């Protein structure tokens, strides 16, 4: 099991993930993955600085399986990382589709 | 329809200005999230699973065509082209940007709407029968009283920080379509032995994790005492309600723990002791508010040839009429339910184009009036039967002619884990699959009146406790699991559903529902005995057998 960090962007509330060089990215596939909970918690302390800088709201750590592309372990996080399962035309999944086109 | 007076307009526009300032200060970093959160919630803005969510109140479920057009414009301009009508006569937008919300609230204010008190521990949107002012079985229109309560409770300084949220519903017909017995206070309009109109008062109902049926605290309350009595109840609750535990803070727990007799004594004492000088409703004020809700001047019409001919020749139209058109108080008119439950669709969702189509129809054929029901449908309340064929054709063209109001596929469902950060399981996909299984054709018609209600967590926004069949989505070891309850209803015979037993996986749950329905079909006395009546006669046992012993269930 790996770990990643997510939050909502303050400006539009959209789900974002903590990526390399302390940038927030839109897709889980681009998120930084941490090998242990401790490592993730340490990164979270850095991510929280962006809360005080008013970039994101409520960053937190969640579990990820990363055999290939990272997949959120819990269904709630998987839905968050993709978009509503009943509206494939919205959320991250729609952005990915648009990119493929 | 109620129109804002200068006071209302000023008050709402002041709130928009205040929120604009708060958002600017949040975005500039002057306010932290902790400081900002109470302000955004007071303006109906939540942070949900994917984005912000704005909940807009539709007071007592009444909308004008003009207001509906504005809702469509907001959906298109600031959101993703659709809105979600909720189980409390509100509309929610799922994707607004924080920076846009002041502009949205300003747009809403321009058509006398707002999102105030759609969140927080205050008196929420006052709901009412969605057939109010039109239903044949109505004693008195509940909306003027709901409007009086709305005005009184808006930003009421004493009641803005209650132990928990507080919901009031008013019903004026013999059938309770407003589910008043599942509210913190339910007002049922009644006539006393002297022939006067007043209210029977119910208190302490609610769903959520501790479902309770409201108890009747007073048989008859004079109309002039509506606010004084509401104040007495809310005041006792505010003083005595628990604040130590969020899950025990609703008035239902107070009434349950202290008992109805204690509650009645406390409320009556407060009611007697408090000065009525400022709060008794003078006849002139009641008349002033009632004038806004004066019934449209409809002349009774003779039977409609056009309507009868179409009904004769078009079985689909006839089917629509039998389920989606209810009796109006004026002969020759009907109340049309526009189902937002297309087969396989998302309960309560409407596109901007559909909202505009409904607004057009309301303007042309229904006195420019629309209602939003807590069952997540829209209603055209005043339709001449003569106009029904053309309305039906227009609804067909807009994908809004699903003929399933009150049937098995007219499912209400909360947004569930597809949108909501509180949810423990998805609700919408279950509703979609059940809807596909039963459809709106002959099978659904044969099954008859059946209310399925689905919640994605124990907070019960999908009203599963009062579903004839209720489904509650939970998480067990990281997997979605669905519990089933039977025998609930939110009408005047209010009862809470009983759990069938162990839950079902997402894959199993639709088959489980089908086994329940098949058992009912096999056991009902005659086609006229609806599901709820049959369940009340039969009890849980045969349904348990059908559910948990499939070899036996198949033979029933």
Phi, psi (5° rounding) for residue A73?
-70, -45
The encoded tokens of residue B124 equal 């929420």
Among A8, A52, A74, the residue with its CB nearest the CB of B47 is A8
Interface mutation target, options B22, B40, B49, B433, chain A, most CBs of A under 10 Å = B49
pLDDT per residue as tens digits for the range B351-396: 999 999 999 999 999 999 999 999 999 999 999 999 999 999 999 9
Q: Do A91 and B50 touch (CB under 8 A)?
A: yes
Interface mutation target, options B33, B50, B346, chain A, most CBs of A under 10 Å = B50
Among A51, A75, A90, the residue with its CB nearest the CB of B417 is A75
Interface mutation target, options A8, A15, A17, A77, chain B, most CBs of B under 10 Å = A8
Among A14, A51, A53, the residue with its CB nearest the CB of B51 is A14
Interface mutation target, options A74, A76, A85, chain B, most CBs of B under 10 Å = A76
Residue A7 covered by a domain: yes
Which residues of A sit within 8 Å Cβ distance of B? 8, 10-15, 51-54, 57-58, 73-76, 79-80, 83-87, 90-91
* Residues of chain B found within 8 Å of residue A98, distances taken between Cβ atoms: none
Q: Do B27 and A76 touch (CB under 8 A)?
A: no
Q: Do A10 and B80 touch (CB under 8 A)?
A: no
Region B135-148 average pLDDT: 97
Among B49, B96, B98, the residue with its CB nearest the CB of A79 is B49
pLDDT per residue as tens digits for the range B306-315: 999 999 999 9
pLDDT per residue as tens digits for the range B197-230: 999 999 999 999 999 999 999 999 999 999 999 9
Burial of B326 per CB tally in 10 Å (0-12, 13-18, 19+): buried
Give pLDDT, residue A95: 81
The encoded tokens of residue B135 equal 């239903």
Residue A88 covered by a domain: no
Q: Do A14 and B346 touch (CB under 8 A)?
A: no
Give pLDDT, residue B526: 86
The encoded tokens of residue B437 equal 């299984």
- What total of structural domains would you count in chain A? 1
Give pLDDT, residue A101: 65
Give pLDDT, residue B551: 55
Q: Is a pLDDT exceeding 70 seen at residue B288?
A: yes
Interface mutation target, options A56, A84, A94, chain B, most CBs of B under 10 Å = A84
Q: Do B419 and A10 touch (CB under 8 A)?
A: no
Domains of chain B as residue ranges with CATH: 6-110 (3.90.480.20), 142-292 (3.30.413.10), 305-397 (3.90.480.20), 412-553 (3.30.413.10)
Among B28, B33, B417, the residue with its CB nearest the CB of A79 is B417
Residue of A nearest to B480 (CA): A75
pLDDT per residue as tens digits for the range B3-54: 777 778 888 999 999 999 999 999 999 999 999 999 999 899 999 999 999 9
What range does the domain containing A23 cover?
2-74
Q: Are strands B127-128 and B168-171 parallel, antiparallel or unpaired?
A: parallel
For residues B21 and A99, give the distance between their C-alpha atoms in angstroms, rounded to a whole number.
Answer: 37
Predicted structure pTM score = 0.95
Residue A49 distance to chain B (closest CA, Å): 12
Give pLDDT, residue B506: 97
Give pLDDT, residue A97: 76
Residue of B nearest to A12 (CA): B97
Q: Do B426 and A54 touch (CB under 8 A)?
A: no
Q: Shortest CA distance to B457 belongs to which of B443, B474, B438, B436?
A: B474
Among B99, B346, B428, the residue with its CB nearest the CB of A11 is B99
Residue of B nearest to A84 (CA): B418
Residue A43 covered by a domain: yes
Residue A60 covered by a domain: yes
Q: Do A86 and B346 touch (CB under 8 A)?
A: yes
Question: Quick one: pLDDT band at residue B275, thresholds 50, 70, 90?
Answer: confident
* Residues of chain B found within 8 Å of residue A91, distances taken between Cβ atoms: 50
Residue of A nearest to B423 (CA): A76
Q: Do A84 and B478 touch (CB under 8 A)?
A: no
Residue of B nearest to A53 (CA): B29
Q: Shortest CA distance to B349 belongs to which of A89, A78, A12?
A: A89
| Residue A1 burial (CB count, 10 A) | 10
For residues B16 and B10, give the distance between their C-alpha atoms in angstroms, rounded to a whole number.
Answer: 10
Cβ-defined contacts of B361-365 (< 8 Å, 24+): B361/B391, B361/B394, B361/B395, B362/B64, B362/B65, B362/B68, B363/B65, B365/B390, B365/B391
Question: Quick one: pLDDT band at residue B550, thresholds 50, 70, 90?
Answer: low
pLDDT per residue as tens digits for the range B499-547: 999 999 999 999 999 999 999 999 999 888 999 999 999 999 999 999 9
Helix H or strand E segment including B160 = none
Q: Do B50 and A52 touch (CB under 8 A)?
A: no
Local structure of residue B270 (DSSP, 8 states): H
Q: Which residues contact B184 (CB under 8 A, 6 or more apart)?
A: B166, B167, B168, B203, B204, B205, B206, B237, B250, B251, B252
Residue A82 covered by a domain: no
Q: Are A4 and A33 in contact (CB under 8 A)?
A: yes
Q: Do B97 and A10 touch (CB under 8 A)?
A: no
Q: Do B50 and A53 touch (CB under 8 A)?
A: no
Among B98, B418, B432, the residue with its CB nearest the CB of A11 is B98
Q: Do A85 and B418 touch (CB under 8 A)?
A: yes
Asked if the C-beta of B432 comes within 8 angstroms of chain A's C-beta atoms, the answer is yes
Asked if the C-beta of B78 comes within 8 angstroms of chain A's C-beta atoms, the answer is no
* Residues of chain B found within 8 Å of residue A73, distances taken between Cβ atoms: 478
Q: Do A57 and B33 touch (CB under 8 A)?
A: yes
Q: Is a pLDDT exceeding 70 seen at residue B552?
A: no
Q: What is the 3-state secondary structure (H, E, C) of B463-532?
A: CHHHCCEEEEEEEECCEEEEEEEECCECCCCCECCEECCCCEEHHHHHHHHHHHHHHHHHHCCCCCCCHH
Phi, psi (5° rounding) for residue B58?
-115, 90
From chain B residues 1-40, the ones with a CB under 8 A of any chain A CB are: 26-29, 32-33
For residues B536 and B491, give the distance between their C-alpha atoms in angstroms, rounded to a whole number.
Answer: 14
Asked if the C-beta of B95 comes within 8 angstroms of chain A's C-beta atoms, the answer is yes
Which residue is associated with the tokens 């086994």?
B515
Asked if the C-beta of B297 comes within 8 angstroms of chain A's C-beta atoms, the answer is no
Residue A96 covered by a domain: no
Give pLDDT, residue B554: 45
Residue A99 covered by a domain: no
Average pLDDT value over all residues in chain B: 95
């Amino acid at each position: 099991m790996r770990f990643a960090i997510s939050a909502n962007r303050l400006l539009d509330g959209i789900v974002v993930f903590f990526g390399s060089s302390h940038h927030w990215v839109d897709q889980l596939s681009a998120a930084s993955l941490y090998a242990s909970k401790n490592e993730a918690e340490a990164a979270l302390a850095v991510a929280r600085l962006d809360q005080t800088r008013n970039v994101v709201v409520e960053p937190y750590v969640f579990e990820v399986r990363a055999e290939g592309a990272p997949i959120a372990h819990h269904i709630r996080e998987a839905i968050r990382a993709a978009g509503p399962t009943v509206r494939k035309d919205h959320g991250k999944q729609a952005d990915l589709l648009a990119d493929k086109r | 329809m109620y129109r804002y007076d200068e006071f209302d307009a000023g008050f709402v526009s002041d709130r928009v200005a205040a929120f604009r300032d708060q958002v600017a200060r949040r975005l500039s970093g002057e306010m932290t999230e902790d400081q900002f959160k109470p302000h955004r919630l007071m303006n109906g803005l939540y942070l949900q699973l994917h984005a912000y969510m704005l909940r807009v109140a539709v007071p007592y479920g009444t909308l004008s065509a003009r207001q509906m057009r504005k809702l469509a414009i907001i959906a298109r301009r600031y959101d993703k082209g659709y809105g979600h009508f909720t189980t409390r006569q509100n509309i929610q937008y799922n994707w607004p940007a924080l920076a846009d919300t002041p502009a949205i609230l300003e747009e809403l204010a321009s058509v006398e709407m707002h999102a105030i008190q759609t969140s927080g521990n205050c008196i929420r949107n006052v709901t009412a029968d969605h057939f109010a002012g039109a239903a044949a079985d109505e004693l008195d229109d509940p909306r003027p009283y709901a409007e009086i309560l709305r005005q009184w409770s808006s930003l009421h300084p004493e009641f803005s920080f209650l132990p928990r949220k507080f919901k009031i519903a008013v019903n004026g017909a013999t059938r309770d379509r407003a589910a008043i017995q599942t509210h913190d206070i339910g007002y049922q309009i009644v006539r006393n032995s002297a022939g006067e109109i007043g209210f029977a008062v119910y208190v302490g109902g609610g769903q959520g994790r501790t479902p309770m049926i409201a108890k009747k605290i007073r048989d008859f309350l004079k109309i002039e005492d509506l606010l004084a009595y509401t104040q007495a109840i809310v005041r006792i609750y505010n003083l005595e309600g628990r604040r130590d535990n969020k899950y025990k803070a609703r008035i239902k727990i107070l009434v349950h723990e202290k008992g109805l007799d204690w509650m009645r004594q406390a409320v009556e004492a407060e009611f007697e002791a408090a000065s009525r000088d400022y709060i008794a409703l003078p006849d002139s004020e009641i008349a002033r508010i009632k004038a806004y809700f004066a019934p449209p001047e409809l002349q009774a019409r003779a039977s409609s040839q056009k309507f009868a001919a179409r009904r004769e020749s078009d079985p689909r139209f006839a089917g629509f009429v039998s389920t989606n058109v209810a009796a109006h108080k004026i002969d020759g008119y009907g109340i049309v339910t526009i189902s937002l439950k297309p087969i396989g669709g998302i309960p309560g969702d409407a596109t901007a184009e559909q909202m505009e189509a409904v607004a057009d129809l309301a303007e042309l054929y229904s006195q420019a009036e629309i209602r939003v029901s807590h069952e997540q449908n829209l209603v055209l309340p005043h339709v001449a039967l003569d106009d029904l064929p053309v309305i039906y054709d227009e609804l067909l063209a807009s994908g809004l002619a699903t003929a399933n109001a009150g049937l098995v596929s007219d499912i209400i469902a909360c947004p569930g884990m597809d949108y909501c950060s509180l949810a423990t399981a998805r609700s919408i996909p279950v509703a979609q699959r059940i809807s596909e299984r039963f459809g709106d054709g002959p099978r659904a018609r044969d099954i008859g009146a059946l209310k399925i209600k689905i919640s994605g967590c124990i907070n019960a926004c999908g009203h599963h406790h009062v579903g004839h069949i209720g489904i509650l989505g939970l998480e067990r070891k990281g997997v979605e699991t669905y519990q089933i309850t039977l025998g609930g209803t939110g009408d005047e015979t209010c009862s809470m559903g009983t759990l069938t037993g162990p839950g079902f996986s997402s894959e199993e749950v639709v088959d489980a529902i089908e086994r329940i329905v098949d058992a009912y079909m096999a056991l009902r006395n005659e086609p006229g005995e609806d599901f709820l009546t049959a369940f009340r006669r039969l009890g849980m046992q045969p349904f348990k057998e059908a559910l948990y012993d499939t070899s036996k269930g198949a033979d029933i």
